[in-house]
Amino acid sequence: MIKKYLLSGIIIVAIVAGVFAVEYHPTKAHDQAADSNNIKLAYNNKTKAIKGGILQMGLVEDQPFAGIFLPEVTTRDDDVTLAQPLGVSIFKTDKTYKIIDGGAANLRLDAKTKTATITLRKNLKWSDGRSVTAKDLEYPYELVTSPAYQAQTYTEALANIVGMDAYHAGKAKTISGITFTNGQNGRVMQVAMKAMVPGLTQAGSGYLLSSVEPYHYLKAIKPNKLTGAPQVRQHPLSWGPYKIAKVMSGQSITYVRNPYYYGKPAKLAKLQMTSVTTATSAEALKAKKYDIMYGMPATAYPAVSKLKDYVQTGHESLALSSMYFNLGHFDAKQGINIQDRNTPLQNKNLRAAMGYALNLDEINKKFNYGLQMRANTTVPVAFKQFNDKSIKGFPLNLNKANQLLDQAGFKWDAKHEYRLTPAGKAFSLTYLAQNGSENSEVIAQDSIQQWKQIGVNVHLYHNRLADFNTWLDMAVSGTNQAWDITDGNATLSQEPSQAGMFGKGALYNLGHFTSPELTKLIKNIDSPKANNLKYRQAQFKAYQAYMTKEAVVIPKSFSMAWYPVNTRVTGFTTAADSYNNFANIGVSAEAIQ
Q: How does DSSP assign 400-449, residue by residue?
A: HHHHHHHHTT--B-TTSSSBB-TTS-B--EEEE-B--STTHHHHHHHHHH
- Domain 40-60+240-309+567-592: assigned CATH number: 3.40.190.10
State how far the alpha carbon of 128 is from the alpha carbons of 138, 254, 458, in Å: 20, 17, 55
Give the SS3 label for residue 545: helix
For residue 293, the model assigns a pLDDT of: 97
Please give the Cα distance from 298 to 564 (Å, whole number). 12
- Which residues touch 582 (CB under 8 Å, ≥6 apart)? 84, 85, 240, 241, 242, 266, 271
What confidence tens digit (pLDDT) does each residue in 103-123 have?
A: 999 999 999 999 999 999 999
* DSSP one-letter code for 321: E
Q: What percent of the chain has pLDDT over 90?
A: 78
For residue 34, the model assigns a pLDDT of: 62
CATH classification for the domain delimited by 88-237, as one of 1.10.630.10, 3.90.76.10, 1.10.150.530, 3.90.180.10: 3.90.76.10
- Domain 317-560: assigned CATH number: 3.10.105.10
For residue 469, the model assigns a pLDDT of: 87
Residues of the chain where predicted confidence (pLDDT) is lower than 50: 1, 3-31
For residue 438, the model assigns a pLDDT of: 67
Q: Where are the domains of the chain?
A: 40-60+240-309+567-592, 88-237, 317-560
Q: Please state, as a whole number, how many other Cβ atoms lie within 10 Å of the Cβ of residue 175.
A: 23
For residue 549, the model assigns a pLDDT of: 99
- Which residues touch 27 (CB under 8 Å, ≥6 apart)? 302
For residue 434, the model assigns a pLDDT of: 93
Please give the Cα distance from 473 to 475 (Å, whole number). 6
What confidence tens digit (pLDDT) does each residue in 321-356 have?
A: 999 999 999 998 898 999 999 999 999 999 999 999
Please give the Cα distance from 91 to 204 (Å, whole number). 10
Q: Which residues in 512-584 belong to E strands, given as ranges?
A: 553-566, 569-570, 572-573
For residue 4, the model assigns a pLDDT of: 46
